[in-house]
Each structure stands twice: as structure tokens, then as C-alpha cells.
Amino acid sequence: MRCNLISIAFLQSLVSLYGLQMEIGPIRDPHIAGVAQNSSKVQCSVRVDREVYLAGETARAWLTVTNPMHEMVEVFDPFHLSNAALVLRGMKLEEGEPGAQPVYRPLSPHEPRSWRSRSFNEPQEFRRLVTAWLKPGETREFEIDSAGEWFGKPFSPWYANGGIRDPGEYQIRYTYCPQAHVEFSVVPAVLIAHGILPLSRPLEVYDETERKIRQYPRALRAFALRLGEKSVVVVGRRDTPADARLRTAPGMALSEYELVPFSPYDRVAEVNGPVANLAIQQVDQATFEVLWTEAGGRLMRRSYQPRLSKSKLSPQ
């Protein structure tokens, strides 16, 4: 769908993001102006897989876009990094005002841009122009893993390689549409039990000083963490040095320092009650098994396969 040049006032209404008016000039190219107008009518939503996460845990998000129009339209590709991103915000006090209420504030001084804040009159913007076509009433969904690749690039608003370490209240915004956001919270990871699986193949690192390859033993770890009245069994996504020690005793929250080597991690089970005798073993090249004992001495098992095809786990 093509249209005439969009006026400055209309463009300013399109690019209002997070309550800020972005000042850009009119789009001189009528084709791009039409794409911008179509994109402003797209309906968006974002959701995450949990309302409450443990510190360091991975998250999954689903982005949904719908064309509410009764015709096929060309829009800026909603799932391309040049047009949109996810922005993580944390709940913080509004500064400088008496009786201020907590508000969501950006955690990074440089928030990713969206198509709404771009000037399409610059030559470099034309080179990055990526569009897509949406059928009448069509809905598309894009699933994102916080420890994986975002829009085809290793860019994630989550911290610690895909897991948020700091407890608190958060909001994730999908910048393609200003109104698309969802809230969630992060709680401390309180250690109950810990299991370790030594891996046979060592980590090889080239030492430039000595000009030789050094080998380090590796391991995969499982944890039982407390979440309210429940025990949550998790497995770390990354193999870590086998001699890494946990300085936190059972019943204490894992500190940020403790979480760094082991996060991000995946939740594999929730148990109503305590967990003991936690262990992890390898089943085959791609599958692991976590074992633990529940109240009454019942032995439980749960298989685990890393969700990422490009996972760093390489036990053979």
C-alpha cells in the first residue's frame, strides 16, 4: 500500500515511544512512508513463560503481531533487529519528587531503537530497510529464548548470558509497538542441594604466553532451589570448570558471584516439599538425567536435553 508524503505532525504521533516524542522529519520517499503508515497499524503483544523467575534462570518470550486491516500490506519486518527489539526495564523509585512511586526505568543507558525512531531520509537507513508482507487478518508469532539468539543475532536484554541475577520487579517491552509490554519478577535462588557431573572431554584453551594448549576438566551441574514452599530442580546450560566451588551453604541464597559460573540454567521440575540426594548423569550424547529423593524416600528422575542446538554443552 502506497500513500502520499506523511506530515510531520502525523509522524510524531507514530513515533511516541515510552511516553517520549521523537522528533523526525517527514519521509520523502512515498513507498517508505506507506510502509511506515501500515506498520503503525499493526497490533502487537508480548508474553513470557513465567510470572516469577529464580535469579539466573532462563526465560522464554513470545512476540505476536497481527494485521487488523482487510488487505495485504507491506510493513517493516517486525522480527528483524533493525526494526524492533526487546528492552528490559527494572522497577526503581522516581527520583527528585516527594512521595515518589516506583516506576519502570531502563537498565541500560542505550535502549535499542525501533523503526519508529529512525530517519528514513538518510542513505544508510535505506540499506538497512527490511520489510515483510502480512495477509489480511494474519497473525505471526516469534518465540525467543533469553539465552539464545535474538532476531538471528546473539543479542539479549537479559543479563548473565540469558539469566537475570538481581531479584526485583521487571518489565519487558517490545519496541515495534509502544503498548506491547509484560511484567514479571525475579526472586533469590536459595540453595537446597547440588549435583555435579564430571565431563570426560576437557576444555582446551590456547595459552598465548606459553604457546601451548592447556586442558581444564569440565562439569555439568544440577541444583535444587527453593521457591516459596516448592523445590525447583534446575540444570545449568553451560559446562563449567570442574573445580569451581560453591561457597554458599544449603539454605542460603546464591550470591551474584556464585551465580555467574552456573547461569543461565533451565527449570526441569517443581516439587512440593524438600529434595535430597540430588545427582545428574549422562544418558546419551544429547540427553542427561537428574535424580533426587523426595519426602518419604521416593526416588524421582527427570530427563533433560539442552534446548539450544548451539549449546556449549559438549560432554563427549
Q: What is the DSSP string of 102-168?
A: EEEEESSSSPPP-GGG--TTSHHHHHT--EEEE-TT-EEEEEEETTS-BTTBS--SSSTTT---S-E
The pTM for the full model equals 0.79
Running DSSP on this structure, what letter comes out for residue 60?
E
The top-scoring range by mean pLDDT among 88-92, 284-288, 297-301, 308-312 is 297-301
Question: What is the reported pLDDT for 129?
Answer: 85
Going from N- to C-terminal start, the domains of the chain cover 8-187, 190-304
Question: What is the reported pLDDT for 310?
Answer: 37
Place of cell 539450544: 308
Q: Which residue type does 270 have?
A: E
Average pLDDT over residues 121-141: 86
Label the pairing between strands 265-272 and 230-236.
antiparallel
Per-residue pLDDT tens digits for 261-303: 888 899 999 999 889 999 999 998 889 999 999 988 999 999 9
Rg (alpha carbons) of the chain, rounded to whole number:
24
User: What does the alpha-carbon distance between residue 244 and residue 254 come to, in Å, rounded to a whole number?
Assistant: 14
Which set of grid coordinates corresponds to residue 283? Answer: 544418558
Within 10 A of 264 (CB to CB), how many other CB atoms are there? 26
pLDDT of 26 strictly over 90: no
Average pLDDT over residues 114-118: 85
Element (H, E) at 8: helix 8-14
Average pLDDT over residues 220-239: 91
Q: Which residue type does 185 have?
A: S
Label the pairing between strands 20-21 and 16-17.
antiparallel
Per-residue pLDDT tens digits for 139-178: 999 998 888 766 666 556 666 556 778 899 999 999 999 8
Banded pLDDT at 52 (limits 50, 70, 90): very high
